[in-house]
């Protein structure tokens, strides 16, 4: 009999109950008990759902009030010493206050760092390790939650993040993380002993770093750490996900564990090799349901894949989603606006639980036992394959002919630049912004009212024009050189375009946790993407009509559109990227025909699309850069193409960024004091660059001197002739007052530097 389980369930709740409970607690409106009660209710609900789906095991300790990596730092007593003394006045605060201070900072201490969880959009808190770190398990809360689970359910399987991944994901200062390996593994062993006493049969131990390129040192660390687990303990299910892990087969099979979970969605080719290599008494958990995407499983196909493993492994075969369901929305139950057909193609977490059960029944009792449900599933899969909404003939013809499109601009950069100079007549060190201006309460209210149907189109439109005019007048008063329309009409840089493109759908409750209480609702790309009508031209043209200075058109690039959506799984991602590129290309062309001389194509998410394994980087970069170039190459020589990227490490992909051949790139640099720019200097980045000089994530207004100092540093690396001056990113989260002050200082700094440079030129 094949067994079933999940690696983890989403924490936020069907209607984001956790988010609202957290935020009201942070605002001081509710008590710690209220918050804990909501959390306990959510956990109970999640277990209940797994029970109703008749899963063989119920997963516990996948829940967190903020983040599971942070919880492990707390569990093993490794919270940074800098938080040891609560700030004045907080001595008697409940423990939750101290916990959230780690994640969010307090009046004395900045928060612990946060970073992306592998290639997902989930962010974890990075544990801080140093010579003072002493691990010591404090299992009290862990065991309380275990009691909670065990009173509700018989078969509870707790989850732990494994010790090696924990250390790998931490940041060690002044020591090597691996110096702490034995002392940490020992604490895990204590906890496992305790769980054994509590009659826990299985513990899931996640070692997601097996998805990465690991060197010998880290591979050896597994052997050393797991040697501590040759004691009295529950059975261990080692889980890997997001990649093929067969290259580590000899390391993995040598570990003293009792089973392995593998991702069969990302890497189906690893299933049979693992069936063959599995140690005789191990179980193999096959992650066959996509934990990263929202499509209904093709159950017939999955059953076919599982036939040999089921036959060979019998009850040693476990079935699971590929990874934790943390990365999918909770349930389709409340979706009222999706049409029935599209809805039938989808499966969120709850629907995936049912698929899991169905698969197990088909394997254990024969397909006849679930014939009716299988038929329903088959119909949905067939309707998706045959749908004309998914496959658009004319677009496919265009894609087939894509090699006829010249992905390069008509002329090399130097030629374009000369023509653009004549057309644009910009000063040295031109000043600009990244696109959005403050999204005021009025802007938000107007958009919300329009969306709800409470505001006629004409009123809405008039209001947006007024906000655009306001933004343009402010920028003229500030004497910026290249203006923007301010993006008042955009709620989100992907959603705004997705809503106007064919092939996109939007859910009402398809929220996925990004970090802490923050959730995102990625749109769904279900079919061929194309642009029925222009998307930004009217507002761009209006903004340009208000000023004699150039107004930049503002678009979201194909890779960012792709990266921040749930993408169809019935064609390769790069094909979907090409379709997006063609849609953006059409828009670029219409903007330039409307007289817009500068067009920015944002690719904020370019870097986060990089595969986990280096060997796959070049292939990704090749198609990603090509998609960008196809969207931009329709621009005439005298149309200037900008791109923008933010908050990432660029140095290892500089050749690809240069290959995009944007005339100007603006990037975030102010927080790192221009360090991020060094790579652009060393690499001799050929085109123009606008390093951010104003950290838009801080309410602090930079002084003229601050900005001048940053620009001096920038000029050490990039010649002044190729420098632009701009903030790090869009200004939509800031208020107008601080924005005006900061931009005023930015423009003043630019003018001072220009004067100095001119004086130098005339004396030399
Ligand atoms: N143009 C967008 C803005 O200004 C860019 C946002 C981003 O890079 N994340 O808001
Ligand atoms: Zn940005």
Q: pLDDT tens for residues 281-330?
A: 999 999 999 999 999 999 999 999 999 999 999 999 999 999 999 999 99
Distance 247 CA to ligand 1 centre (A): 40
Distance 725 CA to ligand 2 centre (A): 14
Distance 436 CA to ligand 2 centre (A): 10
Q: Determine the pLDDT at residue 390.
A: 86
Residues near ligand 1 with C-beta < 6 Å? 434-436, 487, 493, 554, 602, 604, 644, 646, 729-730, 732
Whole-number Å distance between alpha carbons of 286 and 241: 10
Task: Please answer whether residues 287 and 316 qualify as being in contact, where contact means their C-beta atoms are separated by less than 8 angstroms.
Answer: no
The phi-psi region of residue 647 (left if phi > 0; otherwise alpha if psi is between -120 and 50; otherwise beta) is left
The domain over range 430-500+535-759 is classified in CATH as 3.20.20.210: yes
Classified by CATH at the fold level, domain 7-281 comes out as TIM Barrel (3.20.20)
Residue 223 scores a pLDDT above 90:
yes
Helix (H) or strand (E) holding 317: strand 317-321
Percent of the chain at pLDDT above 90?
Answer: 91
Distance 266 CA to ligand 2 centre (A): 30
What is the DSSP secondary-structure string of 667-699? E--GGGTTHHHHHHHHTT--SEEEEB-S-TTSS
Atom of ligand 1 nearest to the CA of 600: 1
**Reported confidence tier of residue 393, pLDDT bands at 50, 70, 90:** confident
Q: Each residue of 442-468: pLDDT tens digit?
A: 999 999 999 999 999 999 999 999 999
Atom of ligand 1 nearest to the CA of 435: 4
**Reported confidence tier of residue 670, pLDDT bands at 50, 70, 90:** confident
Q: Each residue of 636-656: pLDDT tens digit?
A: 999 999 999 987 788 889 999
Nearest CA to ligand 1 atom 9: 604
Best mutation site among 729, 731, 733, 743 for ligand 1 pocket (most ligand atoms within 8 Å of CB): 729
Distance 730 CA to ligand 2 centre (A): 6
Q: Each residue of 685-738: pLDDT tens digit?
A: 999 999 999 999 888 999 999 999 999 999 999 999 999 999 999 999 999 999
Atom of ligand 1 nearest to the CA of 556: 1
Atom of ligand 1 nearest to the CA of 645: 8
Q: Each residue of 156-193: pLDDT tens digit?
A: 999 999 999 999 999 999 999 999 999 999 999 999 99
Nearest CA to ligand 1 atom 10: 730
Nearest CA to ligand 1 atom 8: 604
Best mutation site among 730, 731, 739, 743 for ligand 1 pocket (most ligand atoms within 8 Å of CB): 730
Instruction: Spell out a b/e string for 87-107, using b for 16 or more CB atoms within 10 Å of the CB, else e.
Output: eeeeeeeeebbbbbbbbbebe
Structure tokens at 74: 């707390």
Active site residue 470: no
Identify the weakest region by mean pLDDT among 29-43, 87-101, 475-489.
87-101
Structure tokens at 246: 């067969």
Distance 557 CA to ligand 2 centre (A): 12
Q: Each residue of 128-165: pLDDT tens digit?
A: 999 999 999 999 999 999 999 999 988 999 999 999 99
Atom of ligand 1 nearest to the CA of 436: 4
Task: Please answer whether residues 235 and 202 qualify as being in contact, where contact means their C-beta atoms are separated by less than 8 angstroms.
Answer: yes
Q: Determine the pLDDT at residue 147.
A: 97
Nearest CA to ligand 1 atom 3: 730
Residue 762 scores a pLDDT above 90:
no
Whole-number Å distance between alpha carbons of 619 and 336: 40
Spell out the alpha helix ranges (H) of 564-719: 573-593, 617-632, 654-660, 675-682, 704-717
Task: Please answer whether residues 676 and 650 qualify as being in contact, where contact means their C-beta atoms are separated by less than 8 angstroms.
Answer: yes
Q: Return all residues near 158 (Cβ < 8 A) that are at least 6 apart.
A: 59, 60, 61, 142, 146, 149, 195, 200, 203, 204
Q: Each residue of 461-474: pLDDT tens digit?
A: 999 999 999 999 99
Residues listed for the chain: 764
Spell out the alpha helix ranges (H) of 425-486: 441-451, 457-478
Q: Each residue of 363-384: pLDDT tens digit?
A: 999 999 999 999 999 999 999 9
Marked catalytic residue, from 196, 461, 470, 697: 697
Q: Per DSSP, what are the bridge partners of residue 129?
A: 172
pLDDT, average across residues 197-208: 97
Instruction: Spell out a b/e string for 700-730, using b for 16 or more CB atoms within 10 Å of the CB, else e.
Output: ebbebebbbbbbebbeebbebeebbbbbbbb
CATH 3.20.20.210-classified regions of the chain: 7-281, 430-500+535-759
Identify the weakest region by mean pLDDT among 68-72, 103-107, 273-277, 719-723.
103-107
Q: Determine the pLDDT at residue 699.
A: 84
Atom of ligand 1 nearest to the CA of 732: 10
Task: Please answer whether residues 291 and 324 qualify as being in contact, where contact means their C-beta atoms are separated by less than 8 angstroms.
Answer: yes
Best mutation site among 559, 604, 731 for ligand 1 pocket (most ligand atoms within 8 Å of CB): 604
**Reported confidence tier of residue 764, pLDDT bands at 50, 70, 90:** low
Nearest CA to ligand 1 atom 5: 730
Nearest CA to ligand 1 atom 4: 730
Burial of 80 per CB tally in 10 Å (0-12, 13-18, 19+): middle
Best mutation site among 432, 471, 487, 695 for ligand 1 pocket (most ligand atoms within 8 Å of CB): 487
Distance 5 CA to ligand 1 centre (A): 40
3-class DSSP state of 320 = strand
The rounded mean pLDDT for the chain is 96
Task: Please answer whether residues 274 and 246 qualify as being in contact, where contact means their C-beta atoms are separated by less than 8 angstroms.
Answer: yes
């Amino acid at each position: 009999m094949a067994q079933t389980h999940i690696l983890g369930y989403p924490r936020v709740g069907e209607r984001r109950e956790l988010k609202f409970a957290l935020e009201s607690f942070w605002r001081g409106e509710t008590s710690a008990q209220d918050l804990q009660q909501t959390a306990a209710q959510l956990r109970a609900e999640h277990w209940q759902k797994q029970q109703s789906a008749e899963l063989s095991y119920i997963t516990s300790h996948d829940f967190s009030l903020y983040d599971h990596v942070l919880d492990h730092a707390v569990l093993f007593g490794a919270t940074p010493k800098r938080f040891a003394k609560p700030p004045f006045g907080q001595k008697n605060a409940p423990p939750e206050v101290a916990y959230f201070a780690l994640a969010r900072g307090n009046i004395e201490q900045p928060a612990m760092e946060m970073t992306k969880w592998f290639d997902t959009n989930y962010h974890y808190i990075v544990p801080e390790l140093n010579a003072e770190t002493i691990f010591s398990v404090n299992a009290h809360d862990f065991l309380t939650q275990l009691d909670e689970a065990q009173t509700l359910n018989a078969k509870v399987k707790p989850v732990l993040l494994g010790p090696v991944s924990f250390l790998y994901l931490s940041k060690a200062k002044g020591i090597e993380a691996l110096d702490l390996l034995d002392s940490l593994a020992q604490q895990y062993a204590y906890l496992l002993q305790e769980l054994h006493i509590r009659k826990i049969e299985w513990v899931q131990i996640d070692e997601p770093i097996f998805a990465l390129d690991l060197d010998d040192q880290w591979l050896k660390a597994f052997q050393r750490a797991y040697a501590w687990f040759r004691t009295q303990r529950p059975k261990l299910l080692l889980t890997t996900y997001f990649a093929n892990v067969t290259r580590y087969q000899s390391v993995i099979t040598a570990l003293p564990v009792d089973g392995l979970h593998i991702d069969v969605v990302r890497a189906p080719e690893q299933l049979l090799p693992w069936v063959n290599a599995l140690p005789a008494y191990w179980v193999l958990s096959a992650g066959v349901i996509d934990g990263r995407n929202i499509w209904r499983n093709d159950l017939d196909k999955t059953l076919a894949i599982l036939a040999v493993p089921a036959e060979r492994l019998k009850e040693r075969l476990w079935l699971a989603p590929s990874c934790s369901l943390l990365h999918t929305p909770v349930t389709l139950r409340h979706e009222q606006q999706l049409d029935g057909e599209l809805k039938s193609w989808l499966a969120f977490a709850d629907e995936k639980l049912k698929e899991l059960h169905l698969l197990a029944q088909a394997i254990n009792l024969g397909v006849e036992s679930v014939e009716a449900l299988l038929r329903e599933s088959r119909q949905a899969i067939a309707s998706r394959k045959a749908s004309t909404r998914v496959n658009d003939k004319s677009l496919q013809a265009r894609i087939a002919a894509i090699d006829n499109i010249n992905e390069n601009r008509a002329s090399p950069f130097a030629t374009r630049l000369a023509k653009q100079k004549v057309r644009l007549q910009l000063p040295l060190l031109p000043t600009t912004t990244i696109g959005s201006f403050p999204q005021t309460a009025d802007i938000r209210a107007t958009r919300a009212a329009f969306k709800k149907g409470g505001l006629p189109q004409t009123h809405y439109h008039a209001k947006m024009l007024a906000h655009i005019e306001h933004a343009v007048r402010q920028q003229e008063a500030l004497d910026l050189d290249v203006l923007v329309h301010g993006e008042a009409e955009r709620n989100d840089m992907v959603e705004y375009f997705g809503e106007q493109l064919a092939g996109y759908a939007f859910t009402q409750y398809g929220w996925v946790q990004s970090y802490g209480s923050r959730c995102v609702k990625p749109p769904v790309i279900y079919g061929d993407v194309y642009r029925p009508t222009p998307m930004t031209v009217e507002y761009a043209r209006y903004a340009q009509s208000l000023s004699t200075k150039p107004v930049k058109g503002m678009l979201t690039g194909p890779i960012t559109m792709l990266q921040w959506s749930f993408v169809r799984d019935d064609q390769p991602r790069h094909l979907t990227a090409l379709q997006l590129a063609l849609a953006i290309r059409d828009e670029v062309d219409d903007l330039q025909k409307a007289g817009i001389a500068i067009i920015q194509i944002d690719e904020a998410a370019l870097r986060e699309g990089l595969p986990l394994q280096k060997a796959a980087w070049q292939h990704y970069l090749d198609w990603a850069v090509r998609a960008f170039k196809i969207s931009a190459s329709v621009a005439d020589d005298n149309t200037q193409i900008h791109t923008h990227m933010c908050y990432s490490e660029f140095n290892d992909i500089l050749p690809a960024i240069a290959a995009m051949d944007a005339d100007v790139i603006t990037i975030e640099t102010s927080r790192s004091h221009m360090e991020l720019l060094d790579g652009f200097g060393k690499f001799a980045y050929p085109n123009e660059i606008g390093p951010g000089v104003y950290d838009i994530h801080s309410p602090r207004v930079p002084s003229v001197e601050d900005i001048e100092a940053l620009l001096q540093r920038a000029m050490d690396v990039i010649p002044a002739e190729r420098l632009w001056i701009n903030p790090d990113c869009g200004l939509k989260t800031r208020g107008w007052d601080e924005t005006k002050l900061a931009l005023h200082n930015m423009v003043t700094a630019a003018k001072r530097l220009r004067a100095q440079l001119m004086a130098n030129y005339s004396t030399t």
